[in-house]
Structure 1
Amino acid sequence: MSNAAVPFVSGIRNLVSVYDAFIVDLWGVIYEEQHLCYGVFNALSQLYDEGKPVIFLSNSPLRSSDVAKNLERMGVKPRLYKGVLTAGEIIYHELKAGIDPFFSNLGRKCFHLGPECFWQPYAQLGYVCVPNIDEADFIFVTGTFGTQDSLDKYEPFFKVCLSRRLPMICACPDPFILQNGALHIAAGALAAQYQKIGGNVFWRGKPDPSVYEYCLEGLDVSDRRRVAVIGDSLATDIKGANHANLDALFVAGGVHAKELGVNRGQQPDMDRLLLLLKQNGCFVRGVLPAFIW
């Protein structure tokens, strides 16, 4: 497929005649930090009135119910969407079931890499967080030690993990996160680096096409060609939609805003956009300035 001519779409209202349902990213599209992005509430309300269901698909390490509570605190009531699916929710059930061969000899002692609050949903599963990597059976990564981190900082840590052949579970595949207008490395970048040097990593979440199949089941739409994915990350949202053979709409003013030279609500230069899409090996059906009606 080619991106030779990518339509600029001024708002979601232009999509409702083409699509019956939407799979929508959260961070960078619906909210940033703990604030809804401009126009989001109106767009969701209009979609609800039009009878167009929305499922939020997030790479958050939190469970889906916790993310739903966060949405409600920001003013997004459950009636406005069909459901929430997070990478953390999938990982939680994988850990609980223990069916995948990855978990057969995992052990019970975990070294958690990331903010403490992200481990809390998994604590009830009987795994024990240990403070020292020498005691650990596996690594559980949900984030970084700090927003100013670089991959180089983790090289000695990863070498120790690799020497002990510790497997890693990544509950947040996002390579980068946008905070206060700046990009910072996230759990996905750490997991990718560990895998690159030979580490064994278990992933769930975007861009894995299987997570989109879960969403399609929840939407109960008979024709997948009538379902659109909306996201701001080419590496996760858009690439995942491409792998799942679903139409993708790209929000330009999110995680790639700086590369495109735009602010939220602005459309990018076409040549600049096409180059970025080519560099990332992605195809999109259209470009939105933001999640606005």
Structure 2
Amino acid sequence: MPENAGALPRLSDLSGLYDGVLSDVWGVVHNGITPYPSAVEALVAFRRAGGHVVLITNAARTTPHIVQMLDDMGVPREAYDAMVTSGDVTRALIATYKGQSIHHVGPGSDHPILEGLDVAEGPAATASAVVVTGLDDPAQTPDDYETRMGEWLELGLPMICANPDKVVEVGDKMVYCAGALADIYAARGGTVALAGKPYPPIYKESLAALEKAAGRAIDPRRVVAIGDSVRTDATGAADAGVDFLFITGSIHADEIDAFGNPDPEAIKALVAPTGARLAGFQSRLT
């Protein structure tokens, strides 16, 4: 990692230090509506220099659906070798309820996570588990689910959370994600299963995808994870044994004055409790 692990002018400054990148998507590559051109250029340049890029996202949909979303946004496939989504790894958890009914919470666009699995979708009263891919409406908050979560607890339903993120950047707003409900449910005594960042399954799949793209084994110490969340991206990088490049201009932008006069020591202090090895920080990936 860079000796000072401070502000990083360009991703290309790390090219000689790392063979692979695990890059977050929402808040790093795009804002939920449009791509960040500098981020796309940075990933393309890293690959052209001989590196490999795997996009790793807590999106509750499967890889083909997110790839199509990026295509529609104009993110070129030249920017990445492969992708692993929380939806991909969460399907394995849902599959354990084969032949049973599950209660789905989240937008209709997340339904593909259930496709091809032998589970029925029904009301909570007849379900064996609750699968939360997000809030039903982006205007909602976790407070809107207080009564429903009480019912799930009374029924003793375990929760499968397909997206551990608490919030995500959509345009110039922050929208609540499934992780916000999962945190409350667990705090109230509910059982919660998660497979996305920062948990090991998604990193195991992502590192395997990186090695497949490279056609050889890659030392995790030669991999840097890029992300905008201390809670998921920094923690996950630390647990996976890879370095962390912190994109400060999204979830944590206000608290560390990312676009004003950020204090490098304050940024390091924010990341430090996770144990992540900080490779540097940028307000936007460049």
Report the TM-score, using the length of structure 2 for normalisation: 0.89
Residues 1:90 and 2:82 aligned together = no
1:229-257 deviation digits (Å, cap 9, x = unpaired): 11111111111001111111101112111
1:35-79 deviation digits (Å, cap 9, x = unpaired): 111312321221221111100000000001111111222223334
1:106-160 deviation digits (Å, cap 9, x = unpaired): 7622221110110233143132222x32232211101113334333332221111
Superposition misfits of 4+ residues, deviation over 6 angstroms: none
Instruction: Pick one of 132, 136, 142 that aligns with 2:127.
Output: 136
- Going from structure 1 to structure 2, the CA distance change for 1:267 and 1:91 (only over 3 Å counts) comes to farther
Does the CA-based 8 Å contact 1:210-1:244 persist in structure 2? no
C-alpha separation between the residues in 1 aligned to 2:76 and 2:4?
Answer: 37
Instruction: Pick one of 117, 133, 138 that aligns with 2:109.
Output: 117
Give the aligned partner of residue 179 of structure 2.
188
Give the aligned partner of residue 72 of structure 2.
73
**Runs (5+) with no aligned partner, structure 1:** none
- Going from structure 1 to structure 2, the CA distance change for 1:281 and 1:15 (only over 3 Å counts) comes to closer
1:167-209 deviation digits (Å, cap 9, x = unpaired): 1111111111122333332101101211111111111110013
Give the alignment of 1:153-168 within 5 angstroms.
153-168=144-159
C-alpha separation between the residues in 1 aligned to 2:86 and 2:281?
Answer: 25
1:246-281 deviation digits (Å, cap 9, x = unpaired): 111101112111211234xx6722243244335666
Instruction: Pick one of 266, 269, 272 that aligns with 1:272.
Output: 266
Give how far 1:16 is off: 0.2
C-alpha separation between the residues in 2 aligned to 1:276 and 1:229?
Answer: 17
Paired AA for residue 194 in structure 1: Y
Deviates more, 1:64-73 or 1:238-247: 64-73
Deviates more, 1:119-128 or 1:172-181: 119-128
Give how far 1:282 is off: 5.1
* Secondary structure of residue in 1 paired with 2:255: helix
Does the CA-based 8 Å contact 2:7-2:264 persist in structure 1? no
**Runs (5+) with no aligned partner, structure 2:** 212-216
For the aligned residue pairs, the C-alpha RMSD in angstroms reads 2.2
- Going from structure 1 to structure 2, the CA distance change for 1:249 and 1:70 (only over 3 Å counts) comes to same
Paired AA for residue 252 in structure 1: T
1:1-59 deviation digits (Å, cap 9, x = unpaired): xxx96411111111101111100000000011231113123212212211111000000
Deviates more, 1:186-195 or 1:22-31: 186-195
- Going from structure 1 to structure 2, the CA distance change for 1:124 and 1:222 (only over 3 Å counts) comes to closer
* Secondary structure of residue in 2 paired with 1:134: helix
Residues 1:176 and 2:170 aligned together = no
Deviates more, 1:50-59 or 1:6-15: 6-15
Does the CA-based 8 Å contact 1:22-1:53 persist in structure 2? yes
Give the aligned partner of residue 256 of structure 2.
260
Give the aligned partner of residue 44 of structure 2.
45
Residues 1:214 and 2:168 aligned together = no
Task: State the percentage of identical aligned residues.
Answer: 29
Residues 1:285 and 2:279 aligned together = yes
Residues 1:127 and 2:126 aligned together = no
Paired AA for residue 230 in structure 2: L
C-alpha separation between the residues in 2 aligned to 1:280 and 1:243?
Answer: 9
Paired AA for residue 158 in structure 2: P
Paired AA for residue 14 in structure 1: D
